[in-house]
Amino acid sequence: MKVKRLCYACDLIDKPELIQEYKRYHSKENAWPEITESIKKAGILDMEIYILANRLFMIMEVDETFSPERKQMMDAANQKVQEWEKLMWQFQQAPPGAKDGEKWLEMEQIYKLI
């Protein structure tokens, strides 16, 4: 199985109370199981999200079945994912350079040690 790493960035609305609430939603005990399941079904093997101030950084390890287009189609057909996305838009804002409706943008790798 071929594994690929993808990295994305997104910004949160720069209000401490919103950032804390966003973190609570993403804690292990508050993660929605339906969202976790949808992530796995899309071919995402592992996912980590980091935060610095109001900037989010996501690292995904994906298998050969993953494509952003396929994930987008799966999400559009999943009512619980749509509910989650609507909820998350209360906290998130598009990063610089995003097109209308985009919030997570794929990052370009510019350096690798090995």
- The token duo for 102 is 């985009």
Q: Where are the domains of the chain?
A: 4-106
With the C-alpha atoms ordered 40, 45, 48, 54, is the resulting torsion angle positive or negative? negative
20-71 per-position pLDDT tens digit? 999 999 999 999 999 999 999 999 999 999 999 999 999 999 999 999 999 9
Q: What is the pLDDT of residue 98?
A: 92
HSE-up of residue 71 (Cα within 13 Å, Cβ side): 17
CATH 3.30.70.100 fits 4-106, yes or no: yes
CA dist., res. 55 & res. 22, Å (int): 12
Q: What is the pLDDT of residue 1?
A: 83
CA dist., res. 49 & res. 12, Å (int): 13
